Amino acid sequence: MEWLLLAYRMPREPSTPRIAVWRKLARLGVAKVGDGLVALPADARSRERLEWIADEVAEAGGEATLWVSRLTSASQERALAQRMADAILPARLLPPGRARQGTPGGGVAGG
């Protein structure tokens, strides 16, 4: 299975663009792979959405790179799919305009 990886970094200030990007990523149900690195299963719809988010990051003075990747083992793939499943439910429970604690993308290091 192929995965889309978005690596991004955003300035700490102003915080509004960083929070907006995080909220969009949360609504997509991305799996947070690392600091400033999120993943989704590769499909045309997800790719388009992540490309738009990457553009927003750049417009806000940050950096973003979109990658297509494959994991090397089935156990790693199951673990990543579980992280994504764990992210989807809380994201869907968010009231509009409210961020969860632990917002990714915080600070210069990103995600």
Domain edges within the chain: 2-93
Looking at the structure, give the CATH architecture of the domain made up of residues 2-93: 2-Layer Sandwich (3.30)
pLDDT given at position 88? 67
Task: Quickly list DSSP for the chain.
Answer: -EEEEEEEE--SSSHHHHHHHHHHHHHHT-EEEETTEEEEE--HHHHHHHHHHHHHHHHTT-EEEEEEEE-SSHHHHHHHHHHHHHHHHHHHHSPTT-PPSS-TT-STT--
Output the pTM of the full model. Answer: 0.72
Regions of the chain short of the pLDDT cut 70? 88-111
pLDDT tens-digit readout, 48-75? 999 999 999 999 999 999 999 988 889 9
